[in-house]
């Protein structure tokens, strides 16, 4: 390797390291996961994460400097979103790699499953068969703005905070399958517990919208358009 090539390599990996340093904060990883669901203001992110507005702003600035997020102003609010879909895809890969390689992640997931009996998910393949037969209703329990930004085809939107008010509108002759923001989101588990408490047959899928997109893109099926 020539000196010039060595310099080029060093500079290249230094740039790669910028992303690594940016992602070294667990709070920034959580912010990316939340923004992958749809644009949000600093105030919204502060309420969801329990961080102060100042801390959220500081983390977002770091993410912006690494070009992982972008923002625009809407009135008095600054609205952030992920820079592009590849950022969300990267987070899905990070989740899967961490769960595969890190024993502590596996332990925590097992602990959550044991705490929530309703957390045991059904597979996407099974869900697709049931939906094709019209035997299940797919329920998106994320906030409505996240549903509008993108959802699994065929899903209806009832945010978890509104679910108990809308129980009477749900069919009693179909199993209801809930989903939320992905494998480590507990809103779908809470939804299943609420539904089962009144005698409705319910289950959940582990995947969120981005996991669904990756699934259909890497399979041989021809899914309906993802909204």
What residues act catalytically? Answer: 180
Give strand pairing partners of 40: 80
Q: At what angle do helices 26-35 and 85-101 cross, to 10 degrees?
A: 130
Dist. CA 177–CA 137, nearest whole Å: 6
Dist. CA 56–CA 109, nearest whole Å: 26
Give the pairing type, strands 156-157 and 202-204.
Answer: unpaired
Contact indicator for 127, 203 with CB cutoff of 8 Å: no
Give strand pairing partners of 77: 74
Burial of 209 (0-12, 13-18, 19+ CB in 10 A): buried
Dist. CA 37–CA 159, nearest whole Å: 14
């Amino acid at each position: 390797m020539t000196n010039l090539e060595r310099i080029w390599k060093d500079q290249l990996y230094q740039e790669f390291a910028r992303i690594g340093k940016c992602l070294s904060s667990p709070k920034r990883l959580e912010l990316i996961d939340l923004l992958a669901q749809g644009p949000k203001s600093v105030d919204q992110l502060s309420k969801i994460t329990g961080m102060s507005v100042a801390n959220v702003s500081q983390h977002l600035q770091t993410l912006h400097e690494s070009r992982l997020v972008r923002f625009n102003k809407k009135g008095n609010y600054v609205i952030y979103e992920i820079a592009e879909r590849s950022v969300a895809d990267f987070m899905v890969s990070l989740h899967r790699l961490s769960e595969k390689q890190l024993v502590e992640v596996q332990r925590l997931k097992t602990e959550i499953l044991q705490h929530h009996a309703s957390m045991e998910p059904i597979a996407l393949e099974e869900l697709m068969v049931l939906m094709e037969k019209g035997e299940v209703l797919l329920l998106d329990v994320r906030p409505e703005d996240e549903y509008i930004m993108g959802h699994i085809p065929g899903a209806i939107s009832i945010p978890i905070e509104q679910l108990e008010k809308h129980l009477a509108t749900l069919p009693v002759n179909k199993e209801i399958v809930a989903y939320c923001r992905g494998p480590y989101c507990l809103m779908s588990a809470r939804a299943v517990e609420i539904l089962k408490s009144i005698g409705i047959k319910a289950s959940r899928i582990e995947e969120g919208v981005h996991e669904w997109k990756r699934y259909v893109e890497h399979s041989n099926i021809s899914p309906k358009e993802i909204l």
